[in-house]
Structure 1
């Protein structure tokens, strides 16, 4: 999606989840976790509204545009298995998501920016597309520049990376190796993916 530059706490409050992980958005969510606006309290959204909110969670969390989300949906809808799970598992394999979950950055927008600026190599080749889908055997590492390595070492030292069974992370050499494919338990976003599938199938 086009990079969202508006108030992140407002999105978190509207969707009722910590979609954006910045410190300011987290503090604002703690202070006021009700939806924004004067006339939203006490109103129960329709089934359509609930499904739309779940879809918005996926788009904001993974940084997807509408067309990109539908491309992912089209790619998994013909495969066997739970379409909602397959959709989220495809999102989990994105380069910017793995950069974030390994602890290279504190938020997904930071990971997206780092990838777009060419800070990371995949199998020794610079990749600038945050939506690059990683496969088993792929290696992600920081480019061999002292400034970049010092930057990411500092972030990792103060970060709490997710423990991923399918990705091995070497914090000393700033390298992540994809060892397999993610499973349903590896999905990091709590969302009703089945309602999103129904929404996109209309």
Structure 2
């Protein structure tokens, strides 16, 4: 995905959710929860507009481009089960998302940057692709450089990692072990995935 570099507070306000977790964007959403712009207040979006907003939530939250989201959708469409739920579970299995939720980073863009810069190894091999899909048994570790480890120890000390049933996190050794697959209760984004499936099925 071409990385989004615009004002994150506007995205939060436009989508009505805490998509970007930086302190400034969070405060802006608390202060002014209404969508930005002069002519947006009081207007009720159409069903198409609602579905589009739900799709944008997924794209911005997980850092996906349009083509990547559609590839994920095509992949889960061939599986049995709830397509919308499977789509979100695939997004939850991404390396950058797990790095963020374990507490290695405070935001997903920060986690993505760390992965791209080669700060993390998976099963002893450097992985620089944020969209790498983790599987049970995978072990995520910070690259063996003391200065880098000190940086991540500081981040972990000042962050509040999510408790994940499917990932065991060892903060002392800066290691996360994938023990299973995420379930519906592990989805961290409140979104109407079924509306997104209908939108992408057109």
- TM-score, length basis structure 1: 1.00
Q: 1:30, CA displacement in angstroms?
A: 1.0
Q: Mapping of 1:166-177 within 5 angstroms?
A: 166-177=166-177
Aligned to 1:43: 43
The reply to whether residue 184 of structure 1 matches residue 184 of structure 2 is yes
Aligned to 1:17: 17
Q: Distance in 2 between matches of 1:74 and 1:26?
A: 33
Q: Find the residue that maps to 2:18 and give its secondary structure.
A: coil
Cα RMSD for the two superposed structures: 0.3
Match of 1:133 in 2: 133
CA distance in 2, matches of 1:76, 1:115: 25
Q: Which runs of 4+ in 1 moved over 4 A?
A: none
Looking at structure 1, the residues matched to 34 and 120 of structure 2 have their Cα atoms a distance apart, in angstroms, of: 38
Give distance in 2, aligned partners of 1:143 and 1:96: 15
What is the CA distance between 1:74 and its match in structure 2? 0.3
Aligned residues: 202
In the TM superposition, what are the counterparts of 1:63-102 in structure 2 within 5 Å?
63-102=63-102
Partner Cα separation in structure 1 for residue 165 and residue 22 of structure 2: 26
CA distance in 1, matches of 2:120, 2:104: 10
Unaligned runs of 5+ in 1: none
- Note the 1:100-111 alignment, pairs <5 A: 100-111=100-111
Match of 1:157 in 2: 157
Cα distance in 2 between the residues matched to 1:113 and 1:57:
20
**Residue 190 of structure 1: SS of its match in structure 2?**
coil
Segments of 5+ residues of structure 2 without an aligned counterpart are none
Q: Whole-Å Cα distance in 2 between the matches of residues 161 and 20 of structure 1?
A: 16
- Tell me the secondary structure at the aligned position of residue 67 of structure 1: helix
Q: Shift in Å at residue 100 of structure 1?
A: 0.0
Supply the distance in 1 between the matched residues of 2:102 and 2:69 (Cα, whole angstroms).
23
- 2:122 aligned with 1:122, yes or no? yes
The CA distance in 2 between the partners of 1:183 and 1:30, in whole Å, is 30
Secondary structure (helix, strand or coil) at the match of 2:90 reads helix
SS in 1 for 2:28: helix
